[in-house]
């Protein structure tokens, strides 16, 4: 049994992780949150006492104090905190999983590998659905083939940015800056929102438009799965969500720099997150998180394509929160059970078979198909 602290455990994804850890493990689980009232509501919903530590993860002293006496920390707060929380976990000599960052922050976390080894900390960043499940599926393909040559990862997400403030921030971050692709053994920069194509997802979702986003899989997979020559990650949303994103970008709500309103500094991005994201999902509305991972390679002298399909739907809630929080809980449990110290992404830090088995036990099944090329 390990002492597990879930940072942001009263939030949308963190609360899913907390519930899973209580239900599926014997770990001593506590919630670390800046909103103790929200943590109390979570306890009422789960029908049990939930230990709460008041912590502001953006305050160095507050974060360090919260990590005292902890074995594993699951960071379910905003991705902008991931590097600092990883640094704090390593300084405290505790183990860590988080929900993932885009590629610049992921690289900063991987740069902490030697420090983590010296501290004896096991750090697995990117333990959500993507990055996270996508990485594990690539690993599964790598283990099934004699040589894995190319991995194409596609995501279709239907819950709107009104779901939560965190979703607004994530959508804005995914739509700006530079994305990367691993193309013919070379890391290439491409504009985010570019690279439009149509991808056939599993029924009933069908063909959907997807585009590039700054995910870290094209950076991490070639490092840890030798022989890969091509890796790409693209995501798509329903047309009305694309319209909302375009309007916010056109009006400059992706900017962090504050302007002054009635004498007070206001960040356009922070305002958009809190205002747009506070409406939630309409009662009765359904959301879906759909993944397709296509892996091409060689086996037994012939060319083979493995296709992995995964889909989760929820009514009145974010499907992404369910699968992300669950995957993170599974990862935290596996990290608590042991392993080598260091900072390793999911494809190197988690056993693919154990992850997929744990998800299946929770009713989250991945369908694999195979065809010759």
- What gap in Å lies between CA 275 and CA 264, rounded to an integer? 17
Question: C-alpha dihedral over 156, 157, 160, 163, to 10 degrees?
Answer: -170
- The whole-number pLDDT of residue 134 equals 97
- The whole-number pLDDT of residue 159 equals 87
Read off the tokens for 359: 């998800």
Average pLDDT score over residue span 316-341 = 93
- What gap in Å lies between CA 282 and CA 316, rounded to an integer? 6
- The whole-number pLDDT of residue 62 equals 95
- The whole-number pLDDT of residue 45 equals 85
**Which pLDDT tens digit goes with each residue over 66-83?**
999 999 999 999 888 999
State percent of the chain over pLDDT 70.
Answer: 100
- Does residue 330 or residue 37 have the better pLDDT? 330
The answer on pLDDT for 313 being more than 80 is yes
Mean pLDDT of the chain: 94
- What gap in Å lies between CA 203 and CA 154, rounded to an integer? 15
Q: Please answer whether residues 234 and 213 qualify as being in contact, where contact means their C-beta atoms are separated by less than 8 angstroms.
A: yes
**Which pLDDT tens digit goes with each residue over 93-104?**
999 999 999 989
- The whole-number pLDDT of residue 49 equals 83
Please report where in the chains the tokens 């393909």 appear, as a residue.
141
**Which pLDDT tens digit goes with each residue over 239-280?**
999 999 999 999 999 999 999 989 999 999 999 999 998 887
- The whole-number pLDDT of residue 12 equals 86
H or E stretch including 355?
helix 352-361
* Furthest C-alpha separation in the chain: 70
**Number of Cβ within a 10 Å radius of residue 365:** 12
- Does residue 44 or residue 61 have the better pLDDT? 61
The band of 35, judged by pLDDT with boundaries at 50, 70 and 90, is confident
- What gap in Å lies between CA 124 and CA 96, rounded to an integer? 6
The band of 152, judged by pLDDT with boundaries at 50, 70 and 90, is very high
**Which pLDDT tens digit goes with each residue over 188-208?**
999 999 999 999 999 999 999
User: What is the C-alpha R_g of the chain?
Assistant: 20
**Which pLDDT tens digit goes with each residue over 157-187?**
998 898 888 889 889 988 888 999 999 999 9
Q: Please answer whether residues 3 and 66 qualify as being in contact, where contact means their C-beta atoms are separated by less than 8 angstroms.
A: no
Please report where in the chains the tokens 């740069």 appear, as a residue.
111
**pTM flag (> 0.85):** yes
For the chain, domains (ranges, CATH) are 3-127+321-359 (3.40.50.720), 133-319+365-372 (3.30.360.10)
The band of 156, judged by pLDDT with boundaries at 50, 70 and 90, is very high
**Which pLDDT tens digit goes with each residue over 121-151?**
999 999 999 999 999 999 999 999 999 999 9
At residue 52, what are phi and psi to the nearest 5 degrees? -125, 135
| Long-range contacts, 110-116 (Cβ 8 Å, 24+) | 110/220, 110/343, 110/345, 111/343, 112/86, 112/87, 112/343, 113/342, 113/343, 113/344, 114/342, 115/90, 116/90, 116/341, 116/342, 116/343
State percent of the chain over pLDDT 90.
Answer: 82
Read off the tokens for 244: 């909302």
The band of 39, judged by pLDDT with boundaries at 50, 70 and 90, is confident
Q: What is the DSSP string of 178-214?
A: EEEEEETTEEEEEETT---EEEEPSTTT-EEEEEE--
């Amino acid at each position: 049994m390990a002492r597990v602290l879930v940072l942001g455990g009263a939030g949308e994804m963190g609360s899913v992780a907390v519930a899973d850890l209580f239900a599926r493990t014997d770990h001593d689980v506590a919630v670390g949150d800046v909103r103790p009232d929200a943590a109390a509501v979570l306890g009422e919903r789960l029908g049990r006492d939930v230990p709460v530590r008041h912590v502001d993860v953006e305050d160095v002293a507050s974060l360090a104090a919260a990590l005292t006496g902890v074995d594993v920390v699951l960071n379910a707060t905003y991705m902008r905190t991931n590097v600092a929380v990883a640094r704090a976990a390593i300084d405290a000599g505790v183990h860590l999983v988080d929900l993932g960052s885009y590629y610049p922050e992921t690289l900063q976390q991987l740069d902490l590998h030697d420090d983590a080894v010296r501290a004896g900390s096991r750090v697995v960043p990117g333990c959500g659905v993507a990055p996270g499940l996508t990485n594990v599926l690539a690993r599964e393909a790598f283990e099934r083939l004699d040589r894995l040559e190319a991995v194409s990862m596609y995501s279709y997400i239907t819950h709107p940015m009104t779901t939560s403030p965190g979703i607004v921030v994530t959508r804005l971050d995914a739509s700006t800056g530079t994305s990367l692709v691993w193309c013919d053994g070379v890391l290439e920069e491409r504009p985010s929102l570019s690279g439009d194509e149509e991808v056939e997802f599993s029924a009933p979702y069908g063909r959907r438009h997807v585009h590039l986003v700054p995910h870290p899989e094209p950076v991490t997979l070639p490092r840890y799965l030798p022989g890969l020559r091509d890796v790409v990650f693209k995501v798509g949303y329903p047309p009305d969500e694309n319209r909302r994103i375009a309007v916010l970008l056109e009006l400059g709500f992706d900017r962090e720099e504050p302007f002054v309103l009635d004498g007070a500094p206001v960040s356009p991005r922070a305002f958009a997150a809190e205002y747009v994201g506070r409406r939630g999902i309409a009662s009765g509305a359904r959301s879906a998180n759909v993944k397709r991972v296509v892996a091409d390679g060689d086996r037994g002298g012939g060319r083979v394509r493995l296709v992995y399909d995964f889909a989760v739907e929820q009514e009145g809630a974010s499907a992404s929160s369910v699968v992300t929080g669950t995957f993170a809980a599974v990862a935290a449990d596996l990290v608590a059970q042991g392993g080598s110290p260091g900072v390793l992404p999911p494809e190197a830090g988690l056993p693919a078979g154990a992850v997929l088995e744990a998800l299946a036990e929770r009713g989250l099944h991945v369908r694999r198909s195979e065809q010759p090329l």
